Amino acid sequence: MDFTTPEHMQDLVATVRRFVTQEVQPLEAEVEAAGSVPLDRLSVLKAKARSLGLYAMNMPEEVGGGGLSTLEMCLVEEELGKTSDALIRRVFGQVYPMLLACQGAQRERYLLPTVAGEKICAMAITEPGAGSDAASIATTARLEGDEWVLDGTKHYISDGDIADYTIVMALTDREKRARGGITLFLVDRDTPGFSMTRKQPMMGHRGYGHAELAFQGCRIPRDAVLGEVGGGFRLIMGTVAGIRLAHIGARCTGMASRVLELMRHQATERKQFGQPIGEFQMVQQMLADSAAEIFATRMMVLNTAWELDQGRDPRDKVSMVKVYASEMLGRVADRAIQLFGGAGYSKDLPLERIYRDARVTRIYDGTSEIHRMLIARGVMKHGLSL
């Protein structure tokens, strides 16, 4: 079993690390304070990221992306995780892999411009009555002649306030639901009957918007279907494993690694009672536990990513990664604030922001409780399959 990272990937990871550390992280405080990414700085950073091949790295080369495998993407996402989610989205691109289902004219209108960074896409699944149980959505779409008519409400939609278009999940068959009754639609921002009713302020993840979206008799063309009619739930589930691994597993690992480095520096430089605080056993336990948990998470992420690349179905492992990585980051961030004391609680350091940002990782893409239930069901059905 060879764990050596190929030289080309070592070079790419090093490039991403330098770019994040030197050019992206310095913007974090400004973005946090302003609640948005400064457009003048963004255009420069985005252009540079594209020139270095660091934009839409998860998408195939034939459509203009980086062509990285799941494993390679997780190595890169660990470095991206060392900055804020808002900056990751704007500088490196938030390109949803289900867009590869675009057909015909959809490719030129949606897929290619999004991969090129010319359009922003939002994903509208969550509703007031449907969170982790996505199949229980109430938004409907009915076919009238050559048009689909959408009715319903979505909320907590990331980038819903600025997206050029939105991928909307809707019911097309109430009886079938997840078994062939849910469809994805591509809806342009200026479509009559489609509106943003309000921006929803959040505890963390500042720098990009979260919006409530309303569809009231929203009419879209018959060919606005992404993929196949009734195939929406299957399409979402076919891509969600890779997204959870990279966006949660790898990013949580990266952010926790950044936090541990801050802790290490504080433990060696900060002195109390005549000695560095790192000489105290309770501080050493914080460092040791954090290092061990970060290592464990990284191994879980990379092993599960490798299985996905082999064409396997490691759904139990993906759920394990989702639970462990999200909760690990919360523990590490909490220890760091305790280690730094009042300075950690202050906005002078990034720790309080990281602490707030970390909390939602236990909620989105399926709560810890839901994933624990899935893991337990898998264990009961076929044992611990590792």
Tens of pLDDT, residue by residue over 299-309, are: 999 999 999 99
What pLDDT is attached to residue 137? 94
Region of poorest pLDDT, from 1-5, 76-80, 169-173, 369-373: 1-5
14 has a pLDDT exceeding 90? yes
Q: What is the pLDDT of residues 157-199, one digit of tens each?
A: 999 999 999 999 999 999 999 899 999 999 999 999 999 999 9
Structural domains of the chain, with CATH: 7-97 (1.10.540.10), 121-226 (2.40.110.10), 234-382 (1.20.140.10)
What pLDDT is attached to residue 183? 98
What pLDDT is attached to residue 383? 84
114 has a pLDDT exceeding 80? yes
> How many helical (H) and strand (E) elements, i.e. helices and strands, does the chain have?
14, 10
What pLDDT is attached to residue 386? 67
Question: Residue 310 has what DSSP assignment?
Answer: T
206 has a pLDDT exceeding 90? yes
Region of poorest pLDDT, from 29-38, 254-263, 296-305: 29-38
Burial of 273 (0-12, 13-18, 19+ CB in 10 A): exposed
What pLDDT is attached to residue 153? 98
| Residue of 209, 213, 238 whose CA lies nearest to 94 | 209
What pLDDT is attached to residue 133? 81
Q: Distance (Å, rounded) from C-alpha 148 to C-alpha 219? A: 6
148 has a pLDDT exceeding 90? yes
Mean pLDDT for the stretch of residues 28-49: 93
Q: What percent of the chain has pLDDT over 70?
A: 99
**Could you tell me the pTM of the whole model?**
0.95
What pLDDT is attached to residue 230? 97
Q: What residues does 276 pair with on adjacent strands?
A: 271
What pLDDT is attached to residue 182? 97
**Torsion of the alpha carbons at 68, 70, 72 and 77, rounded to the nearest 10:** 100
Q: What percent of the chain has pLDDT over 90?
A: 93
Contact 321, 304 (CB under 8 A): yes
What pLDDT is attached to residue 157? 97
Mean pLDDT for the stretch of residues 40-53: 93
Burial of 159 (0-12, 13-18, 19+ CB in 10 A): buried
What pLDDT is attached to residue 384? 75
What pLDDT is attached to residue 147? 97
Averaged pLDDT of the chain: 95
Q: Distance (Å, rounded) from C-alpha 367 to C-alpha 237? A: 16
What pLDDT is attached to residue 385? 66
What pLDDT is attached to residue 130? 84
| Residue of 111, 110, 105 whose CA lies nearest to 188 | 110
Contact 139, 152 (CB under 8 A): yes
Helix axes 281-309, 70-80, angle to 10 degrees: 150
132 has a pLDDT exceeding 90? no
| Residues in contact with 78: Cβ distance below 8 Å, sequence separation at least 6, in sequence order | 13, 250, 251, 253, 254, 257, 298, 301
125 has a pLDDT exceeding 90? yes
Mean pLDDT for the stretch of residues 197-222: 96
